[in-house]
Amino acid sequence: MIRKLRSGEYRLYSRKKDPKTGTRRNLGTFRTRRAAEQHEREIQYFKRHFQK
């Protein structure tokens, strides 16, 4: 999930809520939405290809 911050940057949050806190985990802050989307794709690729 990508949200735009007041500063104009974009923050990538996890899709699921963290069971301990009830909030979504911060997965990085990026200057452009395109960079955030690219990182989200990288995370999904990693999850599918490198998990045991």
- Each residue's pLDDT expressed in tens, for the chain with a length of 52 residues: 999 999 999 999 999 999 999 999 999 999 999 999 999 999 999 989 987 6
Count the alpha carbons within 13 Å of 19 in the hemisphere toward its beta carbon. Answer: 0
- pLDDT of res. 4: 97
pLDDT score, position 51: 73
Q: What is the pLDDT of residue 27?
A: 95
CA distances to 27, 28, 30, 43 from 48, in Å: 17, 20, 23, 9
pLDDT at 50: 83
Distance CA 6, CA 4 (A): 7
Query: Three-state SS string across 1-52, please?
Result: CEEECCCCCEEEEEEEECCCCCCEEEEEEECCHHHHHHHHHHHHHHHHHCCC
pLDDT of residue 52: 65
